[in-house]
Amino acid sequence: MITRIVRMEFRPEHVDDFLAQFDTVKHLIRAFPGVRHLELHRDAGQSNVFYTYSKWDGEDDLEAYRQSELFKGAWSEVKAWFGAKPQAFSLREVLVVDAD
């Protein structure tokens, strides 16, 4: 399983556009084969910066999504709204520390 975190900075005038667009695709993304979890977070200090946090069965599943029409359509719409180049990170869990 991998965790994918994507940081996206939008021009302020397009924040509402992004939120509306994400609302229309969130269930489609979550239902995509191999997706186990999906969250959208807003930066606490910069209201035009968002992060997606998702969990995938594996890298092949993430790559299949990145090659899909769903991703290509959604990404082509939002990339015009970016204020900075997005950053993406794929992570493998090493250790989880639970409270005692």
The alpha carbon of residue 55 and the mean position of all alpha carbons in its chain are separated, in whole angstroms, by 10
Strand, coil or helix: 87: strand
Q: What is the pLDDT of residues 14-58, one digit of tens each?
A: 999 999 999 999 999 999 999 999 999 999 999 999 999 999 999
Q: Residue 73 sits in a domain of what CATH number?
A: 3.30.70.100
pLDDT digits (tens, 9 = 90+) for 65-84: 999 999 999 999 999 999 99
Residue 97 inside a domain? The answer is no
Q: Which domain holds residue 14?
A: 2-91
Mean pLDDT of the chain: 96
Q: Tell me the whole-structure pTM to 2 decimals.
A: 0.92
Least confident of 11-15, 55-59, 93-97: 93-97
| Cβ–Cβ under 8 Å, residues 8 and 42 | no
